[in-house]
């Protein structure tokens, strides 16, 4: 992962005990110069620390950082105010007095300042007792060795890498481990367990054995972390290039059972009469990784994670048939609001989108296994609406067979479904369609109040259009309405002639287009 000159320098660093690494040429952002001169003038040594240093060493590039953390031996807030005064008094600065931190926004760069501190923790809370400390104290309280790397911004050693815990070596070895004893680090602030798994997932690093053990040991401590923080980390794991890494680690450490029992229950294989079903947890992770290759849409990724969530509770062994999961897509869709509520995920249209995809996830498959009729495609277009493309992406990601021929066959069938969708859309404009005669029209024409009869007629029109029995136009719908109305003993009112409602329609349409 390391590149070019920086890589060479890191290798040299390990070969020579006298070699120190100076990264000043990578501190291109103007803010570093400003902080350096203020640090010298005020006598408050300052360092850049954490994610910026880690990512610089990983990518070897010093380009446009978005997120810079500065630790000051002194007041972080005062330093932030002075930096702001130096650049532009108008820059937005947020001060968090309680935390002793300040965040300065300069263009697309966010610089967070904190005074170096020493922390001690109580058992019941993630909030530490804080006192002023040295750089070393501050590095001690950092979560991982790769996040404790600092670069000096001070005149005597500007650009020098300060690495008391071997963070650089761990970057080289692609290892996540803690600066202090891992049990203490995780027990102090159990959120770090999830952060560790998230960094391992995002960076493709492994978690050092003792550190992984400590997560397992302290897993119950996750109970003192707020649900919002937990879900924030889950989202970051899901948003990674290979999210399965994170979920496998969550499972392995016993955290999954605590924070996401529905997923845990998907793990395992049962066998009856020498027939077994696939491990739905592993299948789900494969689908999630597949979809991550195709989209950054977080909610489509959530749909992949949850598409088979009801399999454990619908599982049955039926003699003669084998393992079945009847209606798991419907029951799964019903489980989504409860899961979203508990995880404090949004309960708005994002949840509805996930719910819809879970509910529909078998439809294209069923369709592709059958003869692809126009009517079935029309219904799929109608039910999926604007989310049809995403549904097809989910279904293609859902193919996890190890048999190449099976995979090819499924993909070919989906291609046929896709072509049919294009053909029917061009012909029938079904997506987001509204039947050409509304409930209001029906009431007016027959002179009846809102009632069951209106619903029956309206539904008959919709069904007939989706089944291709009548075209999607006003005239055909009007005629069917009369027929359905007659079957219910209704006849059109005098005065509410076809032409009138038609005229209204044209008028309405005209205003809509205006
Ligand atoms: P990214 O922003 O890319 O997720 P980061 O390392 O910058 O990664 P932040 O959450 O921005 O992570 O935190 C900045 C730094 O603060 C970290 O690198 C780490 O040194 C420290 N830090 C953040 N959260 C914790 C924590 N819970 N415990 C200990 N140190 C932490
Ligand atoms: Mg950061």
Which tens digit of pLDDT belongs to each residue from 471-494?
Answer: 888 999 999 999 999 998 999 987
Compute the average pLDDT of residues 321-350.
Answer: 96
What is the token pair recorded at 124? 């019941």
pLDDT of residue 18: 52
State whether the beta carbon of 390 lies less than 6 angstroms from ligand 1: no
Work out the end-to-end distance of the chain between its first and last CA atoms, rounded to an integer number of angstroms: 57
State whether the beta carbon of 51 lies less than 6 angstroms from ligand 1: yes
pLDDT of residue 496: 59
The band of 507, judged by pLDDT with boundaries at 50, 70 and 90, is: very low
- For residue 202, the ligand closest to its alpha carbon is 1
The band of 65, judged by pLDDT with boundaries at 50, 70 and 90, is: low
State whether the beta carbon of 191 lies less than 6 angstroms from ligand 1: yes
Tens of pLDDT, residues 341-365 = 999 999 999 999 999 999 999 998 8
Residue 502 has pLDDT above 90, yes or no: no
| pLDDT higher at 271 or 68 | 68
The band of 512, judged by pLDDT with boundaries at 50, 70 and 90, is: very low
How many Å apart are CA 16 and CA 18, to the nearest integer? 5
Compute the average pLDDT of residues 140-146.
Answer: 96
The band of 270, judged by pLDDT with boundaries at 50, 70 and 90, is: confident
pLDDT of residue 425: 84
* pTM of this structure: 0.88
Q: How buried is 84 (Cβ within 10 angstroms: 0-12 exposed, 13-18 middle, 19+ buried)? A: buried
pLDDT of residue 164: 93
DSSP letter for each residue of 58-124: HH------SEEEEEESS-HHHHHHHHHHHH-TTS-EEEEGGGTEEEEEETTEEEEEEE-EEEE--TT
Select from 160, 146, 237, 137 the least CA-distant residue to 197: 237
What is the token pair recorded at 447? 């002179």
Residues forming beta bridges with residue 103, ordered by sequence position? 94, 112
What is the token pair recorded at 48? 């850049």
State whether the beta carbon of 142 lies less than 6 angstroms from ligand 1: yes
Whole-number average pLDDT of the chain: 90
pLDDT more than 90, % of the chain: 70
How many Å apart are CA 293 and CA 274, to the nearest integer? 35
Q: Whose CA is nearest to atom 3 of ligand 1?
A: 51
> Minimum mean pLDDT among 4-18, 220-234, 438-452: which range?
4-18
pLDDT of residue 101: 96
State whether the beta carbon of 45 lies less than 6 angstroms from ligand 1: no
Q: What is the DSSP letter of 21?
A: -
Residues forming beta bridges with residue 276, ordered by sequence position? 271
The band of 508, judged by pLDDT with boundaries at 50, 70 and 90, is: very low
Main-chain dihedrals φ then ψ at residue 153, nearest 5 degrees: -115, 25
Q: Whose CA is nearest to atom 21 of ligand 1?
A: 142
Token look-up 């495609």 returns: 377
């Amino acid at each position: 992962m390391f590149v070019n000159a920086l890589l060479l320098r890191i290798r040299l660093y390990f070969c020579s005990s006298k070699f120190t690494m100076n990264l000043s040429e990578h501190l291109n952002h103007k803010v570093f110069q400003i902080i350096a001169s203020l640090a010298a003038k005020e006598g408050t040594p300052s360092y850049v620390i954490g994610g910026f240093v880690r990512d610089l060493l990983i990518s070897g590039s010093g380009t446009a950082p978005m997120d810079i953390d500065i630790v000051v031996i002194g007041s972080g807030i005062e330093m932030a105010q002075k930096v702001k005064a130096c650049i532009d008094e108008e820059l937005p600065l947020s001060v968090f007095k309680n935390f002793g931190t300040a965040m300065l926004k300069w263009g697309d760069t966010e610089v967070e300042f904190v005074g170096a501190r020493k922390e001690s923790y109580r058992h019941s809370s993630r909030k530490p007792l804080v006192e002023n400390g040295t750089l070393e104290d501050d590095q001690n309280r950092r979560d991982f060795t790769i996040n404790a790397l600092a670069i000096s911004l001070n005149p005597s050693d500007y650009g020098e890498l300060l690495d008391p815990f071997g963070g650089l070596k761990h970057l080289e070895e692609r290892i996540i481990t803690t600066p202090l004893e891992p049990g203490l680090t995780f027990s102090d602030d159990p959120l770090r367990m999830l952060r560790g798994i998230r960094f391992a997932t995002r960076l493709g690093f492994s978690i050092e054995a003792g550190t992984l053990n400590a997560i397992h040991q302290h897993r119950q401590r996750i109970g003192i972390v707020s649900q919002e923080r937990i879900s924030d980390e889950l989202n970051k794991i899901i948003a990674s290039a290979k999210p399965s890494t994170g979920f496998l680690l969550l499972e392995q450490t016993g955290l999954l059972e605590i924070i996401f029992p529905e997923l845990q229950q998907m793990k395992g294989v049962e066998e009856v009469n020498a027939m077994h079903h696939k491990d739905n947890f592993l299948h789900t992770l494969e689908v999630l990784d597949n979809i991550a290759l195709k989209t950054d849409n977080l909610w489509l990724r959530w749909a992949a994670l949850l598409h088979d969530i009801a399999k454990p509770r619908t599982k049955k062994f039926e003699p003669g048939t084998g393992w079945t999961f009847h209606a798991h897509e419907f029951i799964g869709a019903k489980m989504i609001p409860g899961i979203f509520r508990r995880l404090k995920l949004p309960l708005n249209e994002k949840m509805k989108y996930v719910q819809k995809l879970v509910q529909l996830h078998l439809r294209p498959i069923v369709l592709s296994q059958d003869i692809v009729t126009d009517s079935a495609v029309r219904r799929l277009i109608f039910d999926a609406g604007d989310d049809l493309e995403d549904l097809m992406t989910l279904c293609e990601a859902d193919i996890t067979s190890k048999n190449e021929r099976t995979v090819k066959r499924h993909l070919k069938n989906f291609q046929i479904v896709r072509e049919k969708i294009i053909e029917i859309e061009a012909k029938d404009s079904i997506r987001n369609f509204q039947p050409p005669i509304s409930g209001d029209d029906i009431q007016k024409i027959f002179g009846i109040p809102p009632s069951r009869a209106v619903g029956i007629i309206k539904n008959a029109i919709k069904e007939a259009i989706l089944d291709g029995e009548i075209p999607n136009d006003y005239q055909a719908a009007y005629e069917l309405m009369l027929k359905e109305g007659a079957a219910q003993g209704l006849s059109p009112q005098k005065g509410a002639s076809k032409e009138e409602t038609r005229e209204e329609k044209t008028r309405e349409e005209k205003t809509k287009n205006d």
